[in-house]
């Protein structure tokens, strides 16, 4: 069933270029992983990459920059005639586009890095099904575009919560991706690196031992809800907004006039209508006042919860 699902992901999508067998140093990759690489290459504008842009059929030869741009392939632990892609690093390599579902074909992938690349669209939930995945990096070191056209690289759709429950995950680095959505509801005990700065995440952060993040923790520039758990501000720079209820229910506000109303339907007030909690006008909203009751009533009807930052 699992192999059929991966087959469907690979071949159920349209592709501009035909899929072919891998060659060179990649000749021992399975057809599934070879085609997964080719669809990743095509989906992210491979021919225009800065490096490895001619290696559509030979990913294992992509080792032009050891630290930043490389693909690592390793022998299968039980069969040396088979290779697997275990690491893809495309740091600042000019990738443009969305991540294809075909990435699920990399069954042994441990690390996926696309920092400083123009990845857009959602972060696929199938990443959670990649059982060997330990690190994922995407996004930007800086929150502003520094001359880039931000409309071309904005991600959306939130961060799949299942990533934060992945049993082998050690690093999640998704800074300034603008993914949005809810704050993580949990963190795995294996996680040592966390970068979620600038994602417009909302809601409560989970209780957790934030000193566990020994490599990095960055939660800045997200409107989390208060209260923050211990360590989230000190270790990770998290801030929050406190949401409190207006002490007066919206239904109790009404329009009152300090003088005798006049005109048709008694809707005019020479001393101005005000939105108050009672007819004695002991507590009124002093922000606005109206000559006509209709405008005042419309304002009173919209008095809702207040957000205090």
Joined tokens for residue 307: 């957000």
The two three-digit tokens of residue 131, written as one number: 């059982």
Residue 99: pLDDT band with limits 50, 70, 90: very high
Average pLDDT of the segment spanning 177-191? 93
pLDDT of residue 249: 53
Higher pLDDT, 264 or 165: 165
pTM more than 0.85: no
Tell me the CATH number for domain 2-241.
Answer: 3.80.10.10
Whether a cis peptide bond, with omega within 30° of 0, leads into 283 is: no
Tens of pLDDT along 207-258? 999 999 999 999 999 999 999 999 999 999 999 987 554 444 545 788 999 8
- DSSP readout, 26-52? GTTB-HHHHHHHHHHHHHTTGGG-SSS
Between residues 176 and 148, which one has the greater pLDDT? 176
Q: Which of 40-54, 125-139, 140-154 has the lowest mean pLDDT?
A: 140-154
Q: So where are the chain's domains?
A: 2-241, 250-308
Q: What percent of the chain has pLDDT over 90?
A: 60
């Amino acid at each position: 069933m699992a192999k059929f699902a991966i087959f469907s992901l690979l071949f159920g999508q349209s592709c501009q270029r035909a899929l072919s067998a891998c060659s060179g140093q990649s000749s021992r990759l399975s057809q599934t992983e070879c085609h997964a690489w080719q669809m990743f290459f095509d989906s992210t504008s491979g021919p225009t990459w800065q490096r490895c842009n001619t290696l559509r059929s030979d990913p294992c030869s992509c080792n032009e920059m050891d630290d930043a741009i490389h693909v690592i392939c390793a022998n299968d632990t039980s069969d040396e005639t088979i290779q697997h892609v275990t690491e893809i690093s495309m740091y600042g390599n000019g990738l443009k586009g969305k991540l294809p579902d075909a990435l699920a074909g990399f069954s042994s992938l441990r690390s996926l890095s696309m920092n400083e690349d123009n990845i857009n669209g959602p972060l696929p939930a199938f990443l959670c099904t990649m059982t060997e995945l330990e690190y994922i990096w995407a996004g930007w070191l800086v929150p502003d575009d520094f001359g880039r056209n931000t409309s071309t690289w904005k991600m959306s759709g939130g961060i799949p919560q299942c990533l934060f429950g992945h049993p082998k995950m050690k690093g999640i680095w998704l800074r300034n991706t603008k993914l949005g959505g809810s704050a993580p509801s949990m963190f795995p005990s294996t996680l040592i690196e966390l970068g979620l700065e600038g994602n417009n995440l909302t809601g409560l952060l989970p209780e957790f031992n934030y000193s566990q993040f020994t490599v990095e923790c960055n939660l800045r520039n997200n409107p989390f809800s208060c209260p923050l758990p211990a360590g989230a501000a000190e270790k990770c720079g998290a801030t929050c907004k406190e949401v409190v209820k207006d002490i007066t229910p919206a239904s109790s506000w009404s329009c009152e006039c300090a003088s005798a109303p006049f005109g048709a339907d008694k809707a005019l007030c020479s001393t101005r209508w005000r939105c108050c909690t009672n007819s004695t006008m002991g507590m009124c909203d002093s922000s606005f006042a109206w000559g006509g009751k209709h405008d005042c009533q419309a304002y009173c009807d919209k008095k809702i919860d207040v957000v205090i930052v």
